[in-house]
A and B are shown apart, each in its own frame.
Chain A
Amino acid sequence: MTQASASDAPRRSAWRKSMRVLVPPVLLVVLLLAAAVAATIGAAGIPIGRIVAAFGLAPGNPALVDRDWLVLWSIRLPRIALAIIIGGLLATCGAVMQGLFRNPLADPALVGVSSGAGLAAAGIIVVGDRYLASTGVTLPIEALPLAAFVGALLTTMILYRIATREGRTSVAMFLLGGLAIAALANAGLGLLVFLADDRQLRDINFWMLGSLSGATWAKVGAIAPFLVALACVLPFIARGLDLLVLGEMEAFHAGVSVERLKRTCVVLVAAAAGAAVSVSGVIGFVGLVVPHLLRLLIGPGHRLLLPTAALLGAALLVIADTFARTLAAPAELPIGIVTAVIGAPFFLYLLLRQRALLGP
């Protein structure tokens, strides 16, 4: 058996090497195709030819061009852009979290980080409406993403404290601690549901299931900077995350400023999860599935894993959102349900593979 895997090794190596070259451009093409298809599908179908015309790249029927452009510009394109940004944020967030916790089962929604962000956001909705409205004070529009960020930051920090002792992270403590945090945050959300009136209830429900409906260019503009900031920081943490895989002490021995790296990662995770949750609610499993698939293809090195995760996450969410819009048309499924249907069985499969790590 040892010999068989030894002789397989060169072939696997050549395969991985070609994957490293192929995967990024292929993902980019997949993302563009998914976006193009998503633009054609919807309540008002727009064939690809008319989309080209609407962009003014080909001649078309002027009446149709104006109507198509209106649909594209005000409804479909902002939604696709939002799906791309949120998918990128969630998948990168998952990959960074998995590196930080040295554990492939990390996902912001699964271990309560998104719930913490959602709770903070819902708290702002109810408290803002109920107690501040009567005093005449209105919360600024930024209060919501800010609250989501703070909620995500607190839960990530608590989770880190629970799961890590003396530089070693326990997988079981991480998952169980995450479960407890998620339960607590969901209890808080339940309490807010109990207190909320009908309109607030709809808003809160949206946090709990996740949805990209109501996408606007303003929302896109509000969270795009988060993705840009994330992309700027990623190259600087990739090597540190690679070495962190050996353990905190060993990363320090190899020259990593472990405390600074950890702080950076916690803030990144919280910012990405908070930003995503503040516009789209809790969308699970993207951060879990995407990095895992990529590790199978291109290996675990973070230098390539982090940017490709953003691409695959974006493509995956555009596709999932297209399903969410069309499966029950004219009604819309919450996208969180779509990603959970794909992701939960995948999580079970990962758990079974990780059995050795978790113990009997």
Chain B
Amino acid sequence: MNASTETSYELLEQDGLETSLLEVSMGPHHPSTHGVFRMDVKLDGETVVDLQPVFGYLHRNHEKLAENMSYLANMPFTDRLDYFNSMTNNWAYALAAEQLVEIEIPERAEYLRVIMAELTRLVNHVALVGFFVNDLGALGTPLLYAFREREKILDLFEQASGARMMCNYFRFGGLRCDVTEDWLDECRRVVDRFPAFLDEYEQLLSENEIILSRTQGVGNLSSELAINAGITGPMLRASGVSYDLRKVDQYGIYDRFKFRVPYTDGDVGDCYDRFMIRMLEMRESIKILKQALADIPEGDIIGKAPKVFKPKPAETYGRVEGPKGELGFYLIADGTPKPYRYRVRPPSLINLTVLRDMCIGQKIADTVVILGSIDIVLGEVDR
């Protein structure tokens, strides 16, 4: 059991002069906070003594909105939670809703769901690594390399769904529209070329001396605390816990693919581990994509779903392994076309629980790196 870490602090008198702690409010317009996010930091010189995250600037009560409209009408709103990963948001919501009724999902739709989710993982991780080194001070170039690759995948999303980021592609029981054979060929080309980019990127970054010295031993997170604080996704695995919902729950058709779950061996869990886990995860995603693209069958893309989605009274909790962690939807149906209760379990918000623990004792400049390695999106934190 880990109660919130208490820090007692005594001010030192130096050369007969009184010293005091400096309170700094970082954000909400600080470029390193990736949106409107604020950290109230107490500093002793350059060292962080206390830190409190402050958010809610983007709060729009997404849950209340969803409770006042039909199940399907809410699908486009899930795109806006974590606007980098609209496909996995859609999937998590569809998965939870499909547990309320019996719908059979066609094979082709299942394969396309996996393909879209893994492409999303590539988009998220490649952008995250770009922003992460951007936070470290490598302004521009690595981020642009990352965005160049991300753009190719966004083009695929655009061809399939009509939108680059707000895809709104999933439906209860399948998908909204089919993809063409040309699309699959283009997707295969993008996937085949991706490892070459990863090699280049990894060569550029992973042995860079500045990155090593800025990230190794910074923001350590023990596995015990990570589990207790509900940390999920790459951040948990970087702390040495092998827990991936694609393996644990095997939702969709993830049991058919051969892939490994990268996790660190030690119990350090520093920023470098979190960076490297993402690089390794991208390679595993490519393995899944190659298998899925080779096996994808012809057929329908949506099962026989009722015109009006009106589940019987029940409660359900559906979760998927999003690129940022466990994304869950908790739904309570009461027999009407609207959900009685709709709740999003946002991985970004819960991963912020340990921000204070990781930052205390570090330098103020390192809080930027630590926050960057958590990978938050404020659309999801604030909802």
Co-complex (A, B):
no
Q: Write the residues of chain A forming the contact surface with B, with a CB cutoff of 8 angstroms.
A: none
Q: Write the residues of chain B forming the contact surface with A, with a CB cutoff of 8 angstroms.
A: none
